[in-house]
A = this chain, B = another copy of it.
Amino acid sequence: MSESERPAGYDPRDYDPVSVTVDVVALTIRDGALHVLLVRRGNPPYAGMWALPGGFVRGVRDAEDLPDAAVRELAEETGLNAEQGQLERIHLEQLGTYGTPGRDPRMRVISVAYLAFAPELPDPKAGGDAADAAWVPVGRLGLTDGGDQAPGTTRRLAFDHAQILVDGLERARGKLEYTPLATAFCAPEFTVPELRAVYEAVWGEELHAGNFHRKVLSVPGFVESTGTTSDRGGRKGGPRPKLYRAGDARLLHPALLRPSREEEIR
């Protein structure tokens, strides 16, 4: 900061008023497809439209840290319960801050976006100021890299939330490459095919099962064996896969690079 041109007792209320909010891109895997948590707005602007869960940061009275605000909004607007440990196993990281003037038609709002990776959770219950809340398949939102203004694409999310979501998805895809965060989408014990399904859902492309299996087991600290075996085979047959836990690595080395990124390089 360093705004030392102002007297020490300066009251920001007299200065440029800026509101700070948090928005959360919460991702999970359901039925093999990537889903994002959305709420339907009850009030204008954008009343009736879907938006990312979020809200004001408590600034001075009951001042809260930014990650705490993200968790609180997630709980308030969706009914996900901290007592049941539903929020405990969620990985939360800061995504970025969006503050372009005019992004909120009412006033200047700067929003700190967070990205959350969650294992499969129950359907949310609308709460707070949300008229509705649901896990929505990302593939059905018709998103493109440019946000929500691409030709032939309907503006489906309020504010600039389509852009925030696109940025969150790209971050998630990248994180899967060099961190073991794919395990955050899984139950505490999981199989290699389940882990592969996470990668395929997030990356949107099928992976070579044999090479994926070799890779996962060869990267130190990615997964560790439980010594047990799943009690059922695959959906349409096959042997019972072995069960693993998340290992203690925080970075995958070497990384698990996704194929065919030739177009993205330039």
Contacts and interface: CB of A to CB of B under 8 A. Distances in A.
Contacts of A130: 2
Given A16-B60, A17-B60, A41 B128 contact: no
A57 B19 CA distance: 12
A97 B94 contact: yes
Interface stretch (A28-36, A62-70, A194-202): A62-70
A254 B3 CA distance: 44
A265 to B, nearest CB: 5
A13 B61 CA distance: 14
Contacts of A12: 17-19, 107
Contact of A20 (B10, B65, B99, B261): B99
Contacts of A17: 11-13, 17, 59-60
Contacts of A251: 261, 264-265
Interface residues of A, number: 74
A65 B18 contact: no
Interface in A43-58: 43-45, 47, 51-58
A43 B108 CA distance: 28
Interface in A87-105: 94, 96-97, 99-101, 104
Contacts of A15: 19, 56, 59
Given A58-B16, A253-B265, A97 B112 contact: yes
Contact of A5 (B18, B128, B266): B128
A158 to B, nearest CB: 7
A2 B65 contact: no
A42 interface: yes
A228 interface: no
B221 A249 contact: no
B261 A249 contact: no
A25 interface: no
B1 A21 contact: yes
B44 A4 contact: yes
A132 interface: no
A18 B16 contact: no
24 contacts: A1-B23, A1-B104, A1-B111, A2-B52, A2-B55, A3-B21, A4-B41, A10-B107, A15-B19, A16-B56, A16-B60, A18-B59, A57-B99, A65-B100, A66-B97, A66-B99, A97-B97, A110-B112, A220-B265, A221-B266, A250-B266, A251-B261, A253-B261, A253-B262
Given A1-B54, A66-B99, 7 more contacts: A1-B159, A3-B19, A3-B21, A3-B56, A15-B56, A18-B20, A221-B265
